[in-house]
Structure 1
Amino acid sequence: MADHQESSLTLSSTPASVAEARRHVMGVLAEWGLPDGTDTADTVRLIVSELATNAVQHTFGQSPAFTVDVRLDRHERLRIGVTDDHPRWPKRLPAAVQQDNGRGMVIVRFLTAESGGRLTVEPTEAGGKTVWVVLPWRLFVP
């Protein structure tokens, strides 16, 4: 593996971009050796889907685009980040939330923790934020 691999894609904040974000990340991971159709691939697909959906639905038109970053570093960590320009950070809801929406970050947190990873939110220079999920790469390779 190279010291560092990365890929980035900026998409418009429209519902159709969620599927495009998923396709991009899964395509990149396939190039890096992650076979499709595994439980790990399904976990990543769902994480990307939820993060991209949040970037589209919860920015209230204040972020016309969002960026999906995928990075694999020499410390064997896979980092997936979704950046938007909206200043509001995701709310931390309890796992037993009883509403029709707002469960995306609960799902992302659960899947991340179950995989031995971590989730962070970092501010951007533009006043928005990046939601990062960091997973151990050992989950992805046989």
Structure 2
Amino acid sequence: MADHQEASVTLPSDPASVAAARRYVAEVLSEWGLSEGTEAADSIRLIVSELATNSVLHTFGQSPTFTVHIRLEREEWLRIGVTDSHPRWPKRLPAAVQQDNGRGMVIIRWLAAEAGGRLSVSPTEDGGKTVWIALPWTAAGTPARTATGC
């Protein structure tokens, strides 16, 4: 297998694109060996939903599209990123008990940490940002490969 595999899709910044992003990631990861219906697959779909939703809701129309990136590096790390062209980086918003929003970044960080992963943000050349989640591929429910021989 190659050192890495990559896939990406660019979608309009529209609420309907959140489901499309989730489906796209599920299809790609299924092709790469992640079984549907596993806890890891469910967590990844939730992470993608939250990242895409944040991109759609919190760019205030200043990012007409967002791009979902998926990278599998040496069958060790799965990296999922969502890029938009809005300059403001994500931050934890106060969430009142009765509000339905404001918890996305908390959920994403918790799911990443639970799997032994991490969240990071990197700037783009056009002044936007990519929010990345890195997860150990074995935590995604795939068998670890062992080296044979010397």
TM-score scaled by structure 2?
Answer: 0.90
- 1:82 alignment partner in structure 2: 82
Q: What 5-or-longer segments of structure 2 have no aligned partner?
A: 144-150
Q: Percent identity?
A: 72
- 1:141 alignment partner in structure 2: 142
Find the residue that maps to 1:91 and give its secondary structure.
coil
Q: Which has the larger radius of gyration?
A: 2
- 2:146 alignment partner in structure 1: none
- 1:42 alignment partner in structure 2: 42
Q: Deviations over 1:93-133 (max 9, x none)?
A: 47xx4243111111000000011000001111010000000
Question: How many Å separate the matches in 1 of 2:91 and 2:44?
Answer: 21
- The runs of at least 4 aligned residues of structure 1 exceeding 3 Å deviation read none
- 1:67 alignment partner in structure 2: 67
Q: Paired residues, what number?
A: 140
Partners of 1:93 and 1:106 within 8 A in 2: no
- For residue 86 of structure 1, report the CA deviation from its aligned partner: 0.3
TM-score scaled by structure 1?
Answer: 0.94
- 1:5 alignment partner in structure 2: 5
Aligned-residue CA RMSD in angstroms?
1.2
